[in-house]
Chain A
């Protein structure tokens, strides 16, 4: 996974609360074979609204999304995180997130930044015209003005995102322990190996 250090650029000033996973990616997109391409279905119902932020050329390709409280509530579908990643979103700023969705976002290298509502409101205002910058190392969100908002993040998640480690990457850091288990199993339960092919 791509390491995150700073994320800088335009931000979709969406702002609404309770964006559920059905809004992020509707159910009819689930019979798919890739994580890629789901960006086409992302926010489909919002995109049907005239003048929506996602089709506004000023924000095209923005790596940041600014939303209202309780972002990502609803089902556990990982397709929601896949859809956001596919449309190029690398961070979401909101006053609050659903736990499951925040976990799915993290698994897919998307940073979720929790800030108080007034600060989110200020960012929504600035983002209409200007880029936003998120510095993960220093845990700050800044604007071209003097705004500098500090956010909290779980130390383990921060470390993973900075190093670009996904859960698989973290597990692979335990490669020696896995290999040691395999060596032991090779001696104690050798019949378990090589079974995929019929004898």
Chain B
């Protein structure tokens, strides 16, 4: 893809390099380089293959791992024997994944493997996700992988089967959206705050029909883990995928990862990856610009991820909204959240803390939370504060750094990796009416359990809320 006369965006370059054939109506058959599989959206897809007598076309491009249903309590007893999973439906979905991957010859990271973790954490961590590749998974947060310059997006179960059988998808090209954030970030402002600021600025549906590319000095300076947090939440603004151009940071991150290229292949790959960045003069269909210096540490107040407000702000008054539909939605949202307009966000007391999910469960997230937790203690009104590392490798690294001790001594629970309280498909649930400060990505009605109330925030802010018992401006701990 070296010389093309017309300047192209990163998205166009990846797209063009993967078109297998093009139909007259604009639908392309796109080649898929990476397929991540988990237990919830794959069983029927494997069944479909079986019924049609088909095989997995490229097991070497397919990687499976359980995450959504797994309990985050101990997985083996004192003698090292596997403990049973109480919920029979969860147990069945999990064993179906084991059976299917064995039968179809798909590489499987099982629940006891040291590298098991959330599918979007392990893809990059294993070096399975690479710049310039197309990455799919039956999960909307596949957008995360764009942090490495890969085109990652979520698909449905029929499409999972389609990719398993053909290693392709029928797709129409999206429009391109540039999200440019320039300028230094203020103290206490983390990649999560940048992500929330973008979702707030675009609105929950503002990115629909677009693939976003994050540009500007903020992303150039941001770590890969920070970029993963931002790209992860692209879908919360409606964009199917989010991208950051690969650079030296990307290459340094991937070097020597278990599944990344090695030796001569590595050098060849890096040379190719360097050609991917958007060409000067390439045109985006739309650009939005956000001033980094204006971003404060943020929290959500409602039941949509674009309901963001500065931690120093107040619960908004629906009466201030002129659009009657939006006003009604805000009123409903506040009633569900049990909040009164005008209340200072910092006066909102919390019952539970969840530090985890594919948004914020990597080592830098845990370090940031531990830095606040160190030498302090979870407040008396907080019923549970949970830290769930994104993968077994993150957990081990944190333990090597002594972060687990810091959390445990501060009164946090230190758990096994998985999706956990992000979507409450396993036993980790927020009880009805209780309020959770959560580092996850969705504050939907019932997302963390029926009747649960979620405030999205950064890992440092979650730790700060844990030790004070209410939403707190992390800058007070500086």
Residues of A within 8 A of B (CB): 1, 31-36, 78, 82, 104, 107, 166-169, 171-172, 174, 177-178, 180-182, 185, 188-199
Contact = CB atoms under 8 A, between A and B. Distances in A.
Given A1-B52, A167-B158, A192 B33 contact: yes
A177 B162 contact: no
A197 B157 contact: no
A190 B29 contact: no
B107 A197 contact: yes
Given A174-B20, A198-B126, A78 B158 contact: yes
A29 B161 CA distance: 20
> Lowest 4 CB-CB distances: which A-B pairs, in order?
A191-B261, A33-B43, A196-B107, A198-B258
Contacts of B268: 190-191
Given A78-B158, A195-B61, A178 B92 contact: no
B407 interface: no
Given A33-B93, A191-B261, A199-B258, A172 B166 contact: yes
A177 B93 CA distance: 35
Contacts of A171: 29, 162, 165-166, 168, 170
Nearest to A199: B262
Contact of B266 (A32, A191, A196): A191
A195 B60 contact: yes
B161 A168 contact: yes
Contacts of A198: 126, 258-259
Contacts of A33: 43-44, 47, 92-93, 96
Contact of B44 (A34, A172, A185, A192): A34
B157 to A, nearest CB: 6
B256 to A, nearest CB: 10
A189 B132 contact: yes
Contact of A167 (B170, B262, B266): B170
Interface string B116-135: 00000000001110101100
A84 B60 CA distance: 35
Contact of B128 (A82, A193, A195): A195
Nearest to A166: B52
B158 A178 contact: no
Contacts of A34: 43-44, 47
Contacts of A182: 31, 167
B61 A196 contact: yes
**Which of A1, A168, A178, A194 has the most chain B CB atoms inside 10 A of its CB?**
A168
Contacts of B126: 198
A149 B268 CA distance: 63
A196 B89 CA distance: 28
Interface in B1-54: 18, 20-21, 29, 31, 33-34, 43-44, 47-48, 52, 54
17 contacts: A33-B47, A36-B47, A104-B158, A167-B158, A169-B52, A172-B166, A177-B29, A178-B167, A181-B20, A188-B272, A189-B272, A191-B268, A191-B269, A193-B60, A195-B128, A195-B259, A196-B128
B420 interface: no
A78 B166 contact: no
Contacts of B262: 199
A198 B127 CA distance: 9
B430 to A, nearest CB: 19
B157 A78 contact: yes
B29 A196 contact: no
Interface in B262-277: 262, 265-266, 268-269, 272
B29 A174 contact: yes
Contact of A178 (B44, B133, B166, B261): B166
Contacts of A180: 20
Given A178-B166, A185-B31, A168 B60 contact: no
Contacts of B33: 192
B60 A196 contact: yes
A172 B29 CA distance: 11
A36 B46 CA distance: 12
A197 B265 CA distance: 16
Given A185-B31, A191-B269, A197-B107, 19 more contacts: A32-B43, A32-B44, A33-B44, A35-B47, A78-B44, A167-B162, A167-B170, A171-B162, A171-B170, A174-B29, A178-B29, A178-B31, A182-B31, A191-B265, A195-B34, A196-B106, A196-B107, A199-B258, A199-B262
